[in-house]
Structure 1
Amino acid sequence: MADDAARYLLGIDVGNTVIKAVLFDLEGRQVGSHAIDGQSTRPEPGHVERDLEELWRNASEAFRRCVADAGIEPGQIVAAGCAGHGNGLYLLDGDDRPLVGIQSLDTRAAALAEELAAEHGAALHAATLQEPWPSQTPVLLSWMRRHRPEVLEQAGTLVMCKDYITFKLTGRKVSDISDMSGAGLLRMPECGYDDELLALYGLQGLGHLLPDLIDPTDVAGTVTAEAAAATGLAEGMPVVGGLFDVIASALGSGVVEAGATSIIAGTWSVNQYVSSEPVIDRDLLMVSAFGPDRFMIMDNSATSASHLEWYVREFVERGGHHDDPFGFCHRRLAEVEPRLDDPYFHPFLYGSRLGAEHRAGFNGVAGWHGEGHLIRAVFEGVVFEHRRHVERLRAAGAVIDHATLSGGGARSEVWAQMLADCLGVPISVADGEETGALGAALSAGVGVGVFAGYEEAVSGMTRIRREFEPDPDMWAHYDHRYSTSRDLAEALQGFWSSQYRDARRENNGEEEAK
């Protein structure tokens, strides 16, 4: 074990904005980290993009500072793995330079997703176990073919966001089955590319854009001399294929056995469980594969903790007058007692699984309500969307009597207790906040033989910090408000649809003008 103590695994987590480099010892203890927040741009309504060159600059700096923070030699890192947000659209040109960087919050292709679902939804679900949705990779690629053909003509390779980092480190353009199945680009459960599948999306003739396909624990390549110079990492260090970040976060929080449930409260509301076989149900968002007889069954939407970040950015940090904005929110929230007539908040800044036309908003605000009530409404609205997704998983056959929480929302004891109370099940919170990076790191450990498999890696590198038991006295409160919130959303549907039609009318006029 003396040698093990001097060996480390590097986990890289590429989110929609932040990139994190985190070093772990072989028992899962974090020994160094560095995170850098990148910039998203919104050039048009519904468009959310990023600069891949900035992403690589940020990654290079994060690697250097992470190793310096740990105080180790780069040669002590035995392998690295990368996790990244799924979907969106990232394209390199024919010379492997960044061409397109569209994030998974983008909704420009909402109308096209509806069109594809109406024409080929059943066939696409039969092939991929998911139906078209706005920021799904093939839907965005189809949108590019229709609206930006001159850009698509320059494209050389499609990668996922994490794959761009792997490419810059190793020089190899690959992707793994978890990301590509999560993107609806693989025929399931075989996990292979398919020309007939591409044709259903209107992507016939574009198979040459797809990168080589590998398993998450396969070694994609080793750090090149050029990458070593840019990052400070050791030349020749192995880098594995990596993982779709929701699966990485589940593994990093200790969820690996069949039937185990993972809830991730981050940019997206992720609700998933491990299965030894795929589940065929058109009410669920997707099924992603991450190894032989390893599937993650999911129902997700962009309706989670990012809404608190939005509230903090727009209302709390305004003018920079709060040093601890999230602490401020928790203090204000603690000042109010939950009541049945509290305000409601629908967390639909980026649409919902029920429709891209859904919009966020506060309702039921009275003169006696203060900021604490509004903050509580945000927390509660996020929890209600998690519950709606969990109910879909249960309707599809999942037995959920316990769940493990990870993501940014897991830092909040309030959110963990709310989830336990609203779902009526115990909620575990993993020890360590960087579960996505940890999942990527342990996959690297499996890939280079440090661990015999996922089970051994998860057992050796993850631990639970705290359990939150449901309060039976709060169940009736949340059950009533959950039902009322759903009724309110149904009542607002006509208004949201009208707004959506107006936005599409304006956007279509802009497209025609171009």
Structure 2
Amino acid sequence: MPHYLGIDVGTSAVKAILVDERQAAVAEAEVPLQVSRPQDLWSEQDPETWWWAVQAALKQIRATAGAAFGDVCGIGLSGQMHGAVLLDRDNRPLRPAILWNDGRSFREAEELRAQHPELSRAMGVIPMPGFTAPKLAWLARHEPETFRAVRKVILPKDYIRLKLTGDVVTEMSDAAGTWWLDQAKRDWSDAALAATGLTRDHMASLTEGSQVSGTLRPEIAEQWGLRNDVVVAGGGGDAAAGAVGLGAIEDGSAFISLGTSGQLFVTTEHFSPAPEALVHSFCHAVPGRWFQMAAMLNGASCLAWAAHLLKQDIGELLCKAEAAYRRPSTILFLPYLAGERTPHNDPYARGVIFGLSPETDQTDLVQAVLEGVAFSFADARRALEQAGTSLTHAGMIGGGSRSAFWARIFASVLNLPMVRYEGSDKGPAFGAARLARLATTGEAPETVCTTPNILETIEPEVHLVDLYRPRVEAFRSLYQALKPEFVPS
């Protein structure tokens, strides 16, 4: 029986999933990763740690389902978007990768926007410090010797592809987040590359996410006990791969992703740029589709931060907060621990807990954190509406989707039904496995990328909708009041 492997190179972990031809999960594995922050606003990882984690994850899967693993005929890749992996002429990393939540290139992003205002619509969004292009402009200014040594710039998941196939290839949805891709043409933009001192020679070859990008190197196939013709699909950036896993490939399909970061994602059948709203309009991981996305730098990671701070298990904190929940919290939490992208484009923004009193306890803090993340999605919904996209409901994926209590808060904050699906926490890795199947079999995307079974639909609660509305406005006012204080002196 054919099996398909999905690998997701995330920020906090590498996740792998093995699925059979019925799309049932046979085995899963997760290997944690660490982020290095050597200076303020910096966020880096060593690409070799990704490769080590991939091998460790697959070792776990082989131990769990060795026979099924041996039947793998296709591998799909997903990963954190926007990262700058800089390779020398021998395809070795020149320095640690600069990640999506790194804010050091804010000046360079502003300069690109001012000097090349005509490019933002074609690129699908204004240049922001999280994107790859401003990072290279920063490198040219601050590490010129390294910049001159760069022969290829690739994305995190594509470093794993290089290890698997020996080929330097990326696909449309991940390339979309570099600020070098002409989204309508689905091709590199010579003008955007020139703006950062690069050419097409510095870029990976392009393919679609559901197409073949290469085959597994013989030595890797032998090492892992796999056949010698295993296909490696183009795959997708984590947002697009999550959409594929959820079956969100048709016009208007919408979902919320609650992983380390957060996204509000809507599939479109046409390229619909809205850079003025700070909405991302990018190529999807399947041909002939695009998406609009509001991207927040802080998602379920805020809850993990709170659990670490309080030295308690996340599950226990959620249970206590749910048991105590009656109405919106009087405490406001700004969730900008790593800055913010949509709607503020502010790498200097920071987390804030406002409204503490002698009576404040741990459950109050946890509820405020859950609400603060939901309030940031209210901002995201407003940005999408400004871009002309309205929503009637939204699915939920990612680790945060495991909590029905959090989904209840989201439903009332957004005044939008929240749909929880079976296996929704598998996210991008499952989508990558689907893309592996499409590349291997040539099936039509709509036959494979179906919607999972619904666990429950959580409707907004009218009285809570009314109570949350002024809290969202207070949340927005608090950020505006504190914004001048975030800027370093």
What TM-score, normalized to structure 1? 0.90
- Pairing partner for 1:456 from 447, 457, 461: 447
**What residue number does 1:70 align with?**
65
Partner SS state of residue 97, structure 1: coil
**What residue number does 2:183 align with?**
188
- Pairing partner for 1:424 from 415, 432, 443: 415
Are the aligned partners of 2:88 and 2:94 in contact in 1 as well (CA < 8 Å)? yes
CA deviation vs aligned residue, 1:248-305 (integer Å, no higher than 9, x gap): 1112123222111111011222011011111121213311113443001111120211
**What residue number does 2:333 align with?**
345
The answer as to 2:473 corresponding to 1:473 is no
Are the aligned partners of 2:256 and 2:264 in contact in 1 as well (CA < 8 Å)? yes
1:340 to 1:448, Cα distance in 2 relative to 1, 3 A:
closer
Partner amino acid for 1:284? L
- Pairing partner for 2:389 from 391, 398, 419: 398
**What residue number does 1:108 align with?**
104
**What residue number does 1:263 align with?**
256
Show structure 1 runs of 5+ residues with no match.
Answer: 1-5, 317-321, 503-514
- Pairing partner for 2:371 from 368, 372, 380: 380
Partner amino acid for 1:106? D
Equivalent positions of 1:206-217 (< 5 A) are 206-217=199-210
1:23 to 1:90, Cα distance in 2 relative to 1, 3 A:
same
Residue 91 of structure 1 and its aligned partner are, at CA, apart by 1.4
1:52 to 1:230, Cα distance in 2 relative to 1, 3 A:
farther
Show structure 2 runs of 5+ residues with no match.
Answer: none
Aligned length: 482
CA deviation vs aligned residue, 1:457-507 (integer Å, no higher than 9, x gap): 122x7332222111112101111110111111111122122xxx23xxxxx
CA deviation vs aligned residue, 1:342-374 (integer Å, no higher than 9, x gap): 111000111113122211110011111111101
Equivalent positions of 1:104-503 (< 5 A) are 104-120=100-116, 122-200=117-195, 203-282=196-275, 283-290=277-284, 291-316=286-311, 322=312, 325-339=313-327, 342-353=330-341, 354=344, 355-432=346-423, 433-449=425-441, 452-459=443-450, 462-497=452-487, 501-502=488-489
Residue 410 of structure 1 and its aligned partner are, at CA, apart by 0.4
Distance between the aligned counterparts of 2:463 and 2:250, measured in 1? 31
**What residue number does 2:30 align with?**
35
Are the aligned partners of 2:126 and 2:278 in contact in 1 as well (CA < 8 Å)? no
Deviates more, 1:143-152 or 1:69-78: 69-78
Partner amino acid for 2:338? Y
Residue 339 of structure 1 and its aligned partner are, at CA, apart by 4.5
**What residue number does 1:508 align with?**
none
Partner SS state of residue 173, structure 2: helix
1:464 to 1:339, Cα distance in 2 relative to 1, 3 A:
closer
Over the aligned positions, Cα root-mean-square deviation in angstroms equals: 1.7
Are the aligned partners of 1:405 and 1:427 in contact in 2 as well (CA < 8 Å)? yes
- Pairing partner for 2:93 from 95, 98, 104: 98
Equivalent positions of 1:43-82 (< 5 A) are 43-82=38-77
Partner SS state of residue 10, structure 1: strand
Identity %: 30
Partner SS state of residue 86, structure 2: strand
Distance between the aligned counterparts of 1:152 and 1:284, measured in 2? 29
**What residue number does 1:512 align with?**
none
1:167 to 1:154, Cα distance in 2 relative to 1, 3 A:
same
